[in-house]
A and B are shown apart, each in its own frame.
Chain A
Amino acid sequence: MSAERQLPILRRGEPYTSVELEPLCDHRTGAVLAQVSQANSGLVSRDLCHQADCWAALQAISFEDAVACCERAADIFMQDELPLGDENQGPEEFVAMQSATTAMPVAMCRRNMTKIEFMLREMKSVLRGLSADDRLCGESFRADGGQDPAYVPRGHSLGVVLPNNSPGVHALWIPAFALRVPLYLRPGTMEPWTPYRISAALRKAGYPAAAINIYPSGHAAGNTLLAKAARGMVFGDAKTTQTWAEQGTVEIHGPGMSKVLLDVEAAGDVDRYMDVITRSIAFNGGRSCVNASSVWTPSGGRELADALARSVATTRPTSLDDPAAALCGFPNATIAEAIHAAIESGLQVPGAEDITARYREGDRLTRVDGTTFLQPTIIWCEDSDHPLANREFLFPYASVIEVPADAMPDRVGNTLVATAITTDPVLIDRFYQSPEIVRLNVGPIPTCEIDWTQPHEGNLFYHLLQRRVFQYEAMPA
């Protein structure tokens, strides 16, 4: 491995080295791991002018071949040395680099690889799940007779502005390869590794290179990408995603505000569900939109907060190389400091208490082995209007609030995943009817337990394709 690997822009699969390079550094040492070419907005926009050509070229392979490429790419992604810029990169180096630039523990990076692997390997079942059409993968993607379903593209490109938080989320856009929609990606500044590796694996598996475009860049080029691509997908904070929410062509992946909701019976037997709730908050270092950021209970809130605080406080910062590491760090310490300051500021408002402060070793903001961490934090809030009650941060953080069970469905608000621990059929039905809950788990299922064959936040299949009625009758002889 050279000291400074070059990560080029990929334009229809061809490398393009920019005049402007951004160093990608090991957050602990400052060592430059790669120089990343930066795309200007005009270049992205100009390439997207040719999206229809790119799409047409991609139709040269069949749907079945595209799916087969994905399936072959699964092993390649997990095992092979793959081209990355001007050198190759193996899986061990991949997770080491990813950990170094994102401050996610190596073991966690490795676990996230398996999410990508699953998505590639199980592409048929994933598409069946997303489309809810069993015939989709059995015969031909494009029906050619009778009244079989036919699907038409809603556009000739998918532009995706990708996140840095957790590499597993890349699984969400992978089905676009199988659906033969050209991809235009703006990778996260600290985590370009996964999109490059997925693309390299697909190419090695025989997928047409021309359909893959990757543009490391600033926000302006990302905005251009979303504005010019026929269909878009954006991961971002509330402000970023709000910009695109009303555009109609962009699928939004914003803050999850996922919640665990207990009914009266569950609240009285909370010890049974402590593992489920703890896992919902802390799994994957609390870095996912499916991590719970709030726990609602009709009673015993302080006691629940206390028990949860004792539970999550056992998750301690450790070296990123520790195989048992369960907490992610912050590659940019100033972000951790700002989050810490925001929580401290919120605690100045009466009605909230950081219960974890009683149990954790050291301060919330701490530094271990050259990495800055925020230790898990459980905040007891006296009511749901407190400034800390409905917040989501990039570490294991949750508020605990007392809310009457029958008021929960009306007050739940936008919630990506709600785990409702209840057997009350009326309450279940009201949660089921709530348009604000995207994914609903009924029973002791951690919020982070994801079935990738089910739609997530939106449905990529129907974001990219629409069903068309197709009728056919042979011409009279």
Chain B
Amino acid sequence: MSDLEKRAGLAKVDLDAWTREVVQWHFDPETGCPFWLNFRAKLDWDPAAEVTCFDDLARFGEFQDEWLRGGPVRRWVPKGYADKPIYVFETGGTTGVPKYRIAVDDFRTDYSLFSKGLDDEHFPKGSDWLMLGPSGPRRLRLSIEHLAQVRGGMCYCIDLDPRWVVKITKKGRMRELEEYKRHVVDQALVILRAHENVKCLFTTPKLLEALCEQVSLKQAGITGVFCGGTQMTPQFHRFAREELLEGAAFAPTYGNTLMGLACHKPFDPVDNYSITYHAPQPRAVLQIVDPDDSSQVVPYGECGRVKLTALTKEFFVPNFPERDEATRTPPCEAYPWDGVRDVRPFSRLQSQVVEGVY
């Protein structure tokens, strides 16, 4: 058995133990949240007693994302944290009634753990950050701010409303979209020009491109870029490394409000710019499953739908089918558990009538 196989085996043992602990917490009447305690009342089995390993979570079936929509949001607050200050975060950038998740310290924990993986040369301790991403009722802004703080810096933020972006995109108002992007980037330029200790940047792929059309990252003093929020294709990855970053380190991530953030397997030219992400296990687990049967994990190298399980004492979400698809990859040295490669929006072919001759 190779060293990696041994470490993968140990990671599985840790995951199973953590799964038991988290499930027992959420289904204990003293500590669990109203949602899961009510859920338990309708079951003919006892999760606290019968979930002995991660695989047992399959018994919950698929988590319905509608359960997160609307209120009362306090049904998600574990009794064990009832006296703690509660954050409520919204997910997604779409319109309509948002989905919510509550948090106490999860976002701080997630980003403190992420910080340990950042290299100090390119993301220097004590330097300040620019958060060029969605603001408002999302956890990302607070998370990046915490990341900056935990590394001894401050975080400058801009205003960005992704729901407005979605709205004008759906209406096809492309020039307006460009104007809004420019408005957001202009805010960033002001910060970069006024504060020379800003060396680290969080942004989305689109805003990274837009920013680099207006300023040289090198001349602006940016040495590290943490990128996430939307899909990153291999071609974007190559383009960023070759034409945008000018030597700055690049930390692509995949994440959302439910999961926290999955880190990338360290860059290796043999990957041909494919990005492989590994979930912050055991706090979250990503699986690639058969789109027609989410209980079936696909073999390594095959594509399927991304399924997320969030496993913290603040928030328990088993078997959540994400709106993404990806390729399943084996454990790697840095992360001895499964990874997901080439994440992209989940798509099922839908026929559409072509009107007109073009």
Any chain A CB within 8 A of the CB of B352? yes
Any chain B CB within 8 A of the CB of A302? no
Closest Cβ neighbor of A340 among chain B residues: B353
Instruction: List A contacts of B174 (CB < 8 A).
Output: 223, 226-227, 243-244, 247
Any chain B CB within 8 A of the CB of A140? no
Instruction: List A contacts of B172 (CB < 8 A).
Output: 242-244
Closest Cβ neighbor of B210 among chain A residues: A45
Any chain B CB within 8 A of the CB of A52? no
Any chain A CB within 8 A of the CB of B39? no
Give the segment of A263-271, A285-293, A461-469 that binds chain B.
A285-293
Interface residues of A in 154-169 (CB under 8 A from B): 163-166
| CB < 8 Å neighbour of B353 from A223, A244, A342 | A342
Any chain A CB within 8 A of the CB of B55? no
Any chain A CB within 8 A of the CB of B336? no
The answer to whether residues A45 and B357 also contact, given A40-B239, A334-B351, A338-B351 and a CB cut-off of 8 A, is no
Shortest B250–chain A CB gap in Å is 14
Instruction: List B contacts of A165 (CB < 8 A).
Output: 357-358
Interface residues of A in 240-279 (CB under 8 A from B): 240, 242-244, 247, 253-256
Instruction: List A contacts of B236 (CB < 8 A).
Output: 40, 42
Any chain A CB within 8 A of the CB of B293? no
Asked if residues B239 and A237 are in contact (CB atoms below 8 Å), the reply is no
Convert B110-149 into 0s and 1s, putting 1 for each residue whose CB lies closer than 8 angstroms to a CB of A. Answer: 0000000000000000000000000000000000000000
| CB < 8 Å neighbour of B355 from A43, A237, A247, A337 | A237
| CB < 8 Å neighbour of B213 from A49, A223, A338 | A49
| CB < 8 Å neighbour of B358 from A46, A236, A338 | A236
Any chain B CB within 8 A of the CB of A402? no
Any chain A CB within 8 A of the CB of B177? yes
Interface size on A, as a range, is 35 or more
**A339 CA / B356 CA spacing, docked (Å):** 11
Interface residues of A in 294-347 (CB under 8 A from B): 334-335, 337-339, 341-342
**A87 CA / B176 CA spacing, docked (Å):** 42
Any chain B CB within 8 A of the CB of A391? yes
Asked if residues B238 and A19 are in contact (CB atoms below 8 Å), the reply is yes
Any chain B CB within 8 A of the CB of A393? yes
Instruction: List A contacts of B273 (CB < 8 A).
Output: 19
Any chain A CB within 8 A of the CB of B243? yes
Instruction: List A contacts of B353 (CB < 8 A).
Output: 338-339, 341-342
The answer to whether residues A255 and B355 also contact, given A41-B209, A243-B172 and a CB cut-off of 8 A, is yes
Any chain A CB within 8 A of the CB of B272? yes
Any chain A CB within 8 A of the CB of B228? no
Which of A19, A46, A223, A394 gathers most chain B CB within 10 Å?
A19
**A197 CA / B219 CA spacing, docked (Å):** 41
Asked if residues B352 and A289 are in contact (CB atoms below 8 Å), the reply is no
Asked if residues A289 and B358 are in contact (CB atoms below 8 Å), the reply is yes
Instruction: List A contacts of B206 (CB < 8 A).
Output: 41-42
Any chain A CB within 8 A of the CB of B32? no
Any chain A CB within 8 A of the CB of B354? yes
Instruction: List B contacts of A394 (CB < 8 A).
Output: 354, 356-357
Shortest B243–chain A CB gap in Å is 6
**A428 CA / B233 CA spacing, docked (Å):** 56
Asked if residues A20 and B357 are in contact (CB atoms below 8 Å), the reply is no
Any chain B CB within 8 A of the CB of A59? no
A-binding residues in B (CB < 8 A): 172, 174-175, 177-178, 205-206, 208-210, 212-213, 233-240, 243-244, 272-273, 349, 351-358
